[in-house]
Amino acid sequence: MAKSQQTYSKSEKEKKRLKKREEKQKKKEARKLEAKEKGTGIQFAYVDHDGNLTDTPPDPTQKVDIDASTIEIGIPKRDDSEVEEFDPVRNGKVSFYDSSKGFGFIIDSENQEKYFTHVSGLIDEIAENDKVSFELEKGMKGMNAVRVKKI
């Protein structure tokens, strides 16, 4: 008589697997019953005049008519009257410059704002307390002074 190929641990694993399958099936049936008891939920969702979702239709007296031709899609065009004249060339004074490291700071003479400058943005050699003219350009950490020239 041949010995069974199935060991004790294999049969225990099989029992656990079957038990787990049965529990899963019971949970599935319980969820189906619960869904039937609750009903189907809200059939329609309405948006009231404030933009909130409700299950009751909105009051037609609070409806606002909007002319579709007045709705702008895209970026609105700027009027020339809105654009203020902006001089890209600014003047200032070098408050700090380290030539060995290749960077420094310039204080704008108009608004006393401090701007970073790098050696790559210099036209002339500069030193501390020099009066300079420069342009502003957006950098990684804010506005940078570029095209820096001595006055």
Q: How far is CA 84 from CA 43, 46, 87, 91, 108, in A?
A: 55, 46, 10, 19, 19
pLDDT at 121 over 80: yes
Same domain, 43 and 95: no
Q: Is residue 93 part of a domain?
A: yes
Q: Per mean pLDDT, which range of 2-6, 45-49, 54-58, 75-79 is the poorest?
A: 2-6
- The CATH number for 146's domain is 2.40.50.140
- The lowest-confidence range among 75-89, 109-123, 137-151 is 75-89
Task: Specify the pTM.
Answer: 0.45
Winning range, highest mean pLDDT, from 4-18, 38-52, 88-102: 88-102
3-state DSSP: the chain helix, strand, coil percent, rounded to 5?
25, 30, 45
41-58 mean pLDDT = 80
29 belongs to a structural domain: yes
With a pLDDT cut of 70, the percent of the chain lying above it is 87
Same-domain status, 60 and 21: yes
Q: Is there a single domain that holds both residue 57 and residue 94?
A: no
Query: Are residues 104 and 98 in contact, defined by beta-carbon separation less than 8 angstroms?
Result: yes
The pair of structure tokens assigned to 5 is 């190929």
Q: Which domain holds residue 109?
A: 89-150
End-to-end alpha carbon distance in the chain? 109
User: What mean pLDDT do residues 70-77 have?
Assistant: 82
